[in-house]
Amino acid sequence: MGKHWADFQYEIYLHGMTGAVPRLPTDLTRLEEITARRLGPGPVGYVAGGAGDGSTARANREALRRRRIVPRMLRDVQDRDLSVEVLGRSLPAPLALAPIGVLSILHPDAERAAARAAAAHGVPYILSSASSTPMEEVAEAMGDAERWFQLYWSKDREVTRSFLGRARSSGYSVLVVTLDTPLLAWRPRDLDQAYLPFLHGVGTANYFTDPAFRAGLAKPVHEDRDAAVMRFVGLFADPGKTWPDLAFLRENWDGPIVLKGVLHPDDARLAADAGMDGVVVSNHGGRQVAGSVAAADALPGIARAVGDRLTVLFDSGVRTGDDVVKALALGARAVLLGRPYAYGLGLDGQAGVEHVIRCLLAELDLTLALSGHATPASVTAADLVEEGR
Ligand code: FNR
């Protein structure tokens, strides 16, 4: 029998014979509450908070909870293989770490630690444009491990062009363009604390190190930080963009492009028509539109509309292995994991992120096996029932 992700449980039990128990809980839904006790209210509110009253984040969880797996028996699940092809890349499991900005508010090792943890397990790391570490330094920390770059599509063409060139030459293979953040949403937990790290020049590392960004400053960043912050605020996002603008990205990026934040089948069709390679069905973890459709409720319609033309990925609400199985059954090829790894980072740096990845994949492996699946590919809509239907 080859090595399986599920073997992590025996590692934990065997280690336990020396009296040791895991430093963090193995039920990843508990990480938020522990982080809230240990870290400051500013960072915790920023990570855990959502748009408005938080209803979208709750709906994301509820939409997954409502779907129930129907396990099948006697299907030979002895040898299992979780690997999948996604956008021409071979991944060890249907998982990538979602782009999360400003990780330095959670841990001093920030993006480097998260990226190293992903690299240690072969899971792609998606670096945010709003990272607190420049993309070249994160790339260096990862060696040749799989990394993707998330773009916040700036008002300034030259800054965007420069970001794409830098990402390409530092080995980021897939471009993930986030569409759902043309403006910052109404986020009461941040507003009530007047907490926005970017205004302190935190989460601006890619911009402050960028030649095209710097070319627009009268003085170097270290001589007039406030002016640099104001330039960042002015160009960071662009609510004026429309579908034809995607041609610019297609011209300036020769690898796969994925649009993140798609929730309507017609938008997914427009993405395919624009020559994109994939979409991430996502509502940004409920951080942008309060009252929005839950991401898992939007997923099946989008998979039906474009599943044969685009790679359909999913995030928003994934916390456990069974959530991943449900997302696969609803039509996703792979999922992005968000908040749980940020909590793992805040609680225990790189080791905390590794713990989160290993728990999630062990639980995924076991849930698949115990439901009658030896690979992610055999999961279909027929493996789920919906409560109340
Ligand atoms: C995010 N997300 C995000 N997305 C993105 O494209 N660029 C970014 O910089 C960020 N930053 C960010 C910060 C924080 C603190 C959070 C929680 C999220 C959204 C992220 O990629 C993903 O869509 C959500 O995290 C998914 O929701 P859950 O599963 O984490 O609830």
pLDDT digits (tens, 9 = 90+) for 43-97: 999 999 999 999 999 999 999 999 999 999 999 999 999 999 999 999 999 999 9
Q: 15-22 contacts: CB < 8 A, separation 24 or more?
A: 22/355
Q: Is 235 exposed, middle or buried (0-12, 13-18, 19+ CB in 10 A)?
A: middle
The confidence score (pLDDT) of residue 93 equals: 98
Question: How many A from CA of 25 to the centre of ligand 1?
Answer: 22
pLDDT value at 1 more than 70: no
Q: Strands, DSSP E only, in 71-141?
A: 84-86, 89-91, 95-97, 125-127
Question: How many A from CA of 284 to the centre of ligand 1?
Answer: 5
Of all protein residues, the one whose alpha carbon is nearest to atom 1 of ligand 1 is 100
Domains in the chain, start-ordered, CATH in brackets? 5-16+24-379 (3.20.20.70)
* C-beta of 107 in contact with ligand 1 (< 6 A): no
Q: Is 241 exposed, middle or buried (0-12, 13-18, 19+ CB in 10 A)?
A: middle
Tokens representing 42 are 């500013």
Whether residue 284 lies in the annotated active site: yes
Name which of 97, 129, 150, 104 is nearest 341 in CA terms.
97
Of all protein residues, the one whose alpha carbon is nearest to atom 9 of ligand 1 is 101
Ligand 1 probe mutation, 104, 339, 353, 356, most atoms within 8 A of CB: 339
Q: For residue 46, give the ligand 1 atom closest to its CA.
A: 15
Confidence of residue 388 (pLDDT cuts 50, 70, 90): confident
Of all protein residues, the one whose alpha carbon is nearest to atom 19 of ligand 1 is 284
For the stretch 282-300, what's the b/e string if a residue is b when 16 or more beta carbons lie within 10 angstroms of its beta carbon?
bbbbbbbbbebbbbbbbbb
Question: How many A from CA of 75 to the centre of ligand 1?
Answer: 37
Q: Per-residue pLDDT averaged across 295-310, rounded?
A: 98
DSSP structure string for 262-280:
E-SHHHHHHHHHTT--EEE
Place of tokens 């990272």: 131
311 forms bridges with which residues in the sheet?
278
How far apart (Å, rounded) are the C-alpha atoms in residues 198 and 355?
Answer: 29
Name which of 287, 347, 253, 313 is nearest 124 in CA terms.
313
pLDDT digits (tens, 9 = 90+) for 102-144: 999 999 999 999 999 999 999 999 999 999 999 999 999 999 9
Give yes or no for a contact between 172 and 149, defined as CB atoms under 8 angstroms apart. Answer: yes
Q: Per-residue pLDDT averaged across 164-181, rounded?
A: 98
Give yes or no for a contact between 93 and 360, defined as CB atoms under 8 angstroms apart. Answer: no
Q: Per-residue pLDDT averaged across 155-167, rounded?
A: 98
Confidence of residue 283 (pLDDT cuts 50, 70, 90): very high
pLDDT digits (tens, 9 = 90+) for 314-366: 999 999 999 999 999 999 999 999 999 999 999 999 999 999 999 999 999 99
Q: What is the DSSP letter of 94?
A: S
The C-alpha angle 311, 7, 107, rounded to 5 degrees, equals: 70
pLDDT value at 227 more than 80: yes
Place of tokens 């995030």: 315
The confidence score (pLDDT) of residue 272 equals: 98
* C-beta of 164 in contact with ligand 1 (< 6 A): no
Confidence of residue 237 (pLDDT cuts 50, 70, 90): very high
Ligand 1 probe mutation, 32, 39, 55, 100, most atoms within 8 A of CB: 100
